[in-house]
Amino acid sequence: MKPAPTLSSAFLHPAGQTLPEPLLALRKQRASALVDMPLPTRKTENWKYSSKYLNLSDDMAISLPAEGKAGTSLAIPGYKVVFTNGVMIPEASEYPDMEGIFIQSFSDLNDAEAQALSQKLGGTLNHEQAQFARVNGARFEDGLLIHLKPGAVLDQPLFIIHNTAADSSGSAYPRIYVDAGANSQMTLVEEYTSNGEASVLVNTVTEFNLADGARITSVRLNMEGEQVQHIGATGVLQAQSSRFESHCVGFGGQLRRHDLQVRLEGEGAETKLNGVVVTQGKQHYDNHTSIDHVAANCNSEETYRNIAADQSHAIFNGRIHIHQDAQKSNADMNNKNLLLNNGAEIDTKPELEIYADDVKCAHGATIGQLDETSLFYLVSRGIGRREANVLLTMAFINELVSQIPVQAVRETAQLRLNDFFEQTFQEI
Amino acid sequence: MLSIKNLHASVEGKEILKGINLEIKAGEVHAIMGPNGSGKSTLSQVLAGNEAFEITGGEVTLNGDNLLDLATEERAREGIFLAFQYPVEIPGVSNLQFLRTAVNAMRKHRGEEEMNAAEFMKLAKEVSKQVDLDPAFLKRGVNEGFSGGEKKRNEIMQALLLQPKLAILDETDSGLDIDALQVVSNGVNALRAEDRAILMVTHYQRLLNHIVPDYVHVLAGGKIVKSGGRELALELEERGYGWLGIKDEDTSN
């Protein structure tokens, strides 16, 4: 039998040394734990559809230099922090200056702050399920720490632009940690974007730690180029009565993978996860979500929609785990999928594990095509076939797009969707 | 305006229309009546261009042009309008967006300038009043959560906006209470014009009390078995379809 493939040792050597000592030490420790890390294969359940698109050759292990053109597709009205290849670019960034809100790049932390962070970093994630978050933990060159003091409310969204300058092969490891104090509030927008044509790996980790009553809205927009392998993980810990709301919008590429893990650890916590994925050509997009109802009386509501055209492939895997003590849990998961061509593929899998007996847990998944009756109705009013197709496809995700609470993101998503329609539906 | 000659059509291999002949001139209002399953709705759908039906013979011309060669959207642009018996609900597309897209598709076809959002909003609000539909409906998804009567009023609103040459009304009276019937009938009567024809397909004659037809045809077994004036509808109401030799258990008003 062929030995199981393991991560090349080339990945164990981070380049940047500008981090404070406690974080360097953490990174080193995490790297040593990566030796002989098994790589997922098609027999690995949580990677079975996506492992074949992984390219983790040695040249992919090279840290991309923190230079190159930075860009964004968003019309950003206010606060922003710009990263190129995982390293913050201070001159391109504009921080809020508000009491109770601390935003710092990891490399600017003093030793005590870095020490405190190193105790928490990675703590929101189950690394068994998000294997590649471990690689990020050993490789991050920089990162952003957002610390909201209790009661602090950020007055407008903070945009974090993670730009990958793909001028040569290599990898980048964006990292964000949000420490939201009791009753604090903010909206965070992460955009992942790229320029350059080289094959690259972007391996991200974003963590949200919500104290009692904190309210965080997270918007994640994936706009990277076709040749980018994006493997991202988001971990969320929620204390009592906190509320987390996530809006993920992703356009496909060679490999897109996002793991979103939420743990409802305090009573009365609420989480709402929305996701839209659009793929075309030979693109691939794999969303794995996981919600752990650990405490009683928590609500979760999850709605994901995939649209796959041409020969593309979209995957949704939604896990809900209701722990034994999580009585009166209320969980609702819904995944609808639209196949626009016969050659496209969508795989959806709800996974429910329920160990409490007094819970409400609903799930639904559908895969379908555009409705012929609706199409006939539209064209019978003189609307062209192409436009009718666009209207109906847009209708499929409108509900989710219109819920994105940041106008700049809605606009960018709409423009990108228009391109998609342009390429997918020919005038008939 | 519309000329149907020996039209045959089938669905899933079953022949429904078995040789329809009908001439409709501009300015005329025709009613097609008949029992359930006689082919009334099939005729409406075939004229509008529903591809689920296969044309197996005959011809249909609109102002001399072959209608059957045209795609559904081209027929609409040439002036065919079908008010659906069961209007489709399309959540996610707002009624306003739908109506404006349709109106602009027509305008573009006629070489007219497209209407911008503000212009259209003004027009749509006016027309919605005409069919007694709260303008709030414009913001909702197409027919989404509308009652039966609201859907029918929305159909008539579309006809008023699109100003077709031939409006086909498929069981537009079904599911309407007496007030809604009055509103819908007023809308249809507002459509009557010298350069426009109306074809009403209905099971019952009560609609014809409100929209008085010039001609009445009885469709049975996929053929028109009798034609006459307005008085034919009254006779049908009185005597049912039986005297024409048509079996119709369902037609007990």
Q: Tell me: the pLDDT tens digits for A150-178?
A: 999 999 999 999 999 999 999 999 999 99
Strands B2-11 and B14-24: antiparallel
Distance from CA of A74 to the nearest CA of B (A): 25
Residue A58: the pLDDT is 94
Residue B36: Cβ within 10 Å count? 11
Q: Can you tell me the distance from the alpha carbon of B91 to that of A300, in angstroms, rounded to the nearest whole number?
A: 24
Q: How confident is the model at residue B247 (pLDDT cuts 50, 70, 90)?
A: low
User: What residue spans define the domains of chain A?
Assistant: 9-369
Are B90 and A392 within 8 A, CB to CB?
A: yes
With tokens 């995982």, the residue in question is A86
SS3 A170: strand
Residue B222's closest CA among B43, B22, B13, B30? B43
- Cα-only R_g, chain A: 21
* pLDDT on residue B244: 78
Residue B249 has pLDDT above 70, yes or no: no
* In A166-293, beta strands by DSSP E: 170-172, 175-180, 185-195, 200-210, 215-222, 228-238, 243-251, 255-264, 270-279, 284-293
CA A258 to chain centre: 5
pLDDT of residue A117: 97
Q: Please tell me the predicted confidence (pLDDT) of residue B251.
A: 42
- What's the gap in Å between the CA of B253 and the closest CA on chain A? 30
pTM for this entry:
0.90
Mutate to test the interface with B, among A377, A389, A400 (most CBs of B within 10 A): A377
Cβ contact A394–B93 (<8 Å): yes
What pLDDT sits at residue A355?
Answer: 97
Average pLDDT of the residues in A365-384 = 95
Q: Angle at the Cα of A67 (from A62 to A73), degrees rounded to 5?
A: 105
A171, A66 Cβ separation under 8 angstroms: no
Residue A4: the pLDDT is 79
Cα B47 from Cα B52, distance rounded (Å):
12
Domain boundaries, chain B: 2-244
Has residue A1 got a pLDDT over 70? no
Cα B253 to chain centroid distance, Å, stands at 22
Predicted confidence (pLDDT) per residue in B194-241, tens digit:
999 999 998 888 888 899 999 999 999 899 999 999 889 888 888 888
Are A63 and A170 spatial neighbours (Cβ–Cβ below 8 Å)? Answer: yes
Whether the per-residue pLDDT at B96 is higher than 50: the answer is yes
State yes or no: pLDDT of A408 exceeds 60. yes
Burial class (CB within 10 angstroms; exposed 0-12, middle 13-18, buried 19+) of B176: buried
pLDDT of residue A428: 46
Instruction: Please name the residue of chain A whose CA is at the shortest distance from the CA of residue B91.
Output: A395
Smallest CA–CA distance from A382 into chain B, residue = B73
**Cα–Cα distance between A46 and A43 in angstroms, integer?**
9
Geometric angle at alpha carbon A378, from A372 and A384, rounded to 5°: 100
Instruction: Kindly state which CATH superfamily the domain B2-244 is placed in.
Output: P-loop containing nucleotide triphosphate hydrolases (3.40.50.300)
Percent of chain A with pLDDT over 70: 99
Residue A374 DSSP SS3: helix
The per-residue pLDDT of chain A, averaged, comes to 94
Q: Measure in Å the smallest separation between the Cα of B98 and chain A Cα atoms.
A: 8
Average pLDDT, integer, range A53-77: 87
> How would residue A3 be classed by pLDDT, with cut points 50, 70 and 90?
confident
From the list A377, A378, A395, the residue facing B92 with the nearest CB is A395
Task: Please state the rounded mean pLDDT for residues A301-306.
Answer: 98
Please report the ipTM that was assigned to this predicted complex: 0.95
A242, A208 contact by CB (below 8 A): no
Q: What is the DSSP letter of B70?
A: S
Q: How far apart are CA A307 and CA A318, in angstroms?
A: 17
Report how far residue B124's alpha carbon sits from residue B160's, in angstroms, rounded to the nearest whole number. 10
Q: Sort A422 into a burial class: Cβ within 10 Å, 0-12 / 13-18 / 19+.
A: exposed
Instruction: Kindly report, residue by residue over A111-160, the tens digit of the pLDDT.
Output: 999 999 999 999 999 999 999 999 999 999 999 999 999 999 999 999 99
Q: How far apart (Å, rounded) are the C-alpha atoms in residues A242 and A213?
A: 4
Which of chain B's residues have a Cβ under 8 Å away from the Cβ of A394? 92-93
